[in-house]
Structure 1
């Protein structure tokens, strides 16, 4: 089969496309023909060597959608989708014509999504669900502020919060989500993150001085101080990333007097099978149309896979970038 592969860490230039051995369906495994696979920022970080645990040589790519070629009889021919914190890191990934997966990692793709759309869901919605629902335990009637709402994870969190009955969903980012996008339609108000806006003050104004019950910070680092200051009494901050800096200062007296909680969520800790369990919970929302995929900005064939990675590295695409092997 043909695959995108890297044998050393670096930029998109270390990626090569060529023939590699077909994956083998050992006991407990299935072979999936990859119809589409998205590229996440974490895939770019994987190739660059900024993610822990990657073993070389490796085929990258966490998210996928495709058709089962080999496996149990009741799965052969099924349209599936998936993701995993091991896929593309310690297990060959989805940026190839075929991939081998544990049978427990197979999840039937919602019929409402085509392959390209389904390939954009995995990381964004799994870490969104993990952080907002399982970690922060967002409850109906609460207010959530989503930092990085214009990105893939932030847009997913906004939709998840809306579906879970949040009283108010606030979006924070340098620029607003595109009009008509799923994120734009899920938020109640947008707060720009720039030098001219006091984000915590604006969030307190919107919430009548209370602040947000939950802040989901999909950026981290440069946003952490504002995120903490935006919380209500006993508010919960979820952090999934650290952009610009990995160390921050907080006022500990303020932190404990307001009885705040800071929580981390890491989708890398969820392998393909554990991620599949989350996708099973998420699937009905797509089937009912309550969740919508990100718009696809660019699609590439496998031979132009390095160009797809450059599109992510250069941050020129407003929407998802997919490879269609």
Structure 2
């Protein structure tokens, strides 16, 4: 079969190599999957660089989120078990963790539903307890993780303020349904948030960026607000001043979605049921900006790594393009 493999760590476009490799053999409790579509996530770039919290042995195939078909014909979404990731014709995954692919979504959309939307749901509902009528501030609102949070916030009845980088991404954020869009390249983010909220600030801040974005989060969060720390796409991990949290009465909430697989797997399935229902009524729909063939996966991963993408890029098989 054809598969991309990483033989040494570095930038995705430099270290991912496409070649013929044996079809993987599932281990105990695992199943073989024929990949229909694989969604590209920022962690795929971190895996290539050797900077992710999980470091599979070299060589490995990246691709942590797929829509695939089981040997008995079921259409499922899954997180492949590394080192046999999703940027290949076949992958393996834990049988107990397979979830049915929503009928309302095509393969590329279904592949993009799992990590980003589960992260958004857990961040907004489980951790921050977002309520209808509250204001939600989303950093990188036109990106894969941010776009999911925007849609979930709208579905929850929140007023959504999206922060983006550039006019093109601002247009995408408006199409996603942001009530207010702030271009960090052209606007003073802190002043714009305060103006949009009449000085109150955001009740919930969803931050997958870190760095300067977190500084803006702390300055714009409302009294008794909640900052959800999702990741550090900027490459800079902030050092929050806890005295500032004390003075302003806000909470800083961490979210490591993967822990729920071991700590509370039933909650992952509950979340999937909620997401499937939202997709069925059209309240959420993953923004798949590009669908590329397997041969273009390395360039697409690099595009995501460089922050040049909007929404999601999916690597799709010939049968689903």
C-alpha contact 2:147 2:176 (8 A) present in aligned 1: no
1:173 aligned onto 2:161: no
1:291 aligned onto 2:284: yes
Following the alignment from structure 1 to structure 2, what is the Cα–Cα distance between the partners of residues 216 and 236?
Answer: 9
1:40 aligned onto 2:41: yes
C-alpha contact 1:10 1:48 (8 A) present in aligned 2: yes
C-alpha contact 1:65 1:109 (8 A) present in aligned 2: yes
Map 1:1-325 onto structure 2 (within 5 A). Answer: 1-11=1-11, 12-57=13-58, 58-69=60-71, 76-83=72-79, 87=80, 90-166=82-158, 168-175=159-166, 181=172, 184-194=175-185, 197-242=187-232, 243-248=234-239, 250=241, 252-271=242-261, 274=265, 278-301=271-294, 303-325=295-317
SS of the residue corresponding to residue 232 of structure 1 reads strand
Note the residue ranges of structure 2 that are not aligned, 5 or more in a row.
Answer: none
- Using the TM superposition, give the Cα deviation of residue 81 of structure 1 relative to its aligned residue in structure 2, in angstroms: 1.5
- Using the TM superposition, give the Cα deviation of residue 2 of structure 1 relative to its aligned residue in structure 2, in angstroms: 2.3
Partner of residue 73, structure 1: none
C-alpha contact 2:207 2:228 (8 A) present in aligned 1: yes
- Using the TM superposition, give the Cα deviation of residue 91 of structure 1 relative to its aligned residue in structure 2, in angstroms: 4.6
- Using the TM superposition, give the Cα deviation of residue 249 of structure 1 relative to its aligned residue in structure 2, in angstroms: 5.3
SS of the residue corresponding to residue 184 of structure 1 reads helix
SS of the residue corresponding to residue 163 of structure 2 reads strand
Following the alignment from structure 1 to structure 2, what is the Cα–Cα distance between the partners of residues 176 and 261?
Answer: 32
SS of the residue corresponding to residue 158 of structure 1 reads helix
Aligned length: 311
Following the alignment from structure 1 to structure 2, what is the Cα–Cα distance between the partners of residues 13 and 207?
Answer: 45
SS of the residue corresponding to residue 212 of structure 2 reads coil
SS of the residue corresponding to residue 101 of structure 1 reads strand
- Using the TM superposition, give the Cα deviation of residue 149 of structure 1 relative to its aligned residue in structure 2, in angstroms: 0.7
- Using the TM superposition, give the Cα deviation of residue 8 of structure 1 relative to its aligned residue in structure 2, in angstroms: 1.7
User: Cα–Cα, structure 1 residues 206 and 315, in superposed 2: closer, same or farther, change >3 Å?
Assistant: closer
SS of the residue corresponding to residue 160 of structure 1 reads helix
Following the alignment from structure 2 to structure 1, what is the Cα–Cα distance between the partners of residues 229 and 301?
Answer: 25
- Using the TM superposition, give the Cα deviation of residue 33 of structure 1 relative to its aligned residue in structure 2, in angstroms: 0.7
- Using the TM superposition, give the Cα deviation of residue 148 of structure 1 relative to its aligned residue in structure 2, in angstroms: 1.2
User: Cα–Cα, structure 1 residues 205 and 180, in superposed 2: closer, same or farther, change >3 Å?
Assistant: closer
1:239-285 deviations in whole A, cap 9, x for unaligned? 122224223453x4442122111111123435499455533331111
Normalising by structure 2, what TM-score?
0.87
Following the alignment from structure 1 to structure 2, what is the Cα–Cα distance between the partners of residues 211 and 24?
Answer: 52
- Using the TM superposition, give the Cα deviation of residue 47 of structure 1 relative to its aligned residue in structure 2, in angstroms: 0.7
Normalising by structure 1, what TM-score?
0.86
Following the alignment from structure 1 to structure 2, what is the Cα–Cα distance between the partners of residues 120 and 324?
Answer: 12
C-alpha contact 2:30 2:92 (8 A) present in aligned 1: yes
Note the residue ranges of structure 1 that are not aligned, 5 or more in a row.
Answer: 70-75
Structure with more helix by fraction:
2
C-alpha contact 1:171 1:191 (8 A) present in aligned 2: yes
User: Cα–Cα, structure 1 residues 154 and 110, in superposed 2: closer, same or farther, change >3 Å?
Assistant: same
Following the alignment from structure 1 to structure 2, what is the Cα–Cα distance between the partners of residues 64 and 261?
Answer: 34
Following the alignment from structure 1 to structure 2, what is the Cα–Cα distance between the partners of residues 15 and 309?
Answer: 9
User: Cα–Cα, structure 1 residues 282 and 176, in superposed 2: closer, same or farther, change >3 Å?
Assistant: farther
- Using the TM superposition, give the Cα deviation of residue 229 of structure 1 relative to its aligned residue in structure 2, in angstroms: 1.0
User: Cα–Cα, structure 1 residues 141 and 286, in superposed 2: closer, same or farther, change >3 Å?
Assistant: same
SS of the residue corresponding to residue 297 of structure 2 reads helix
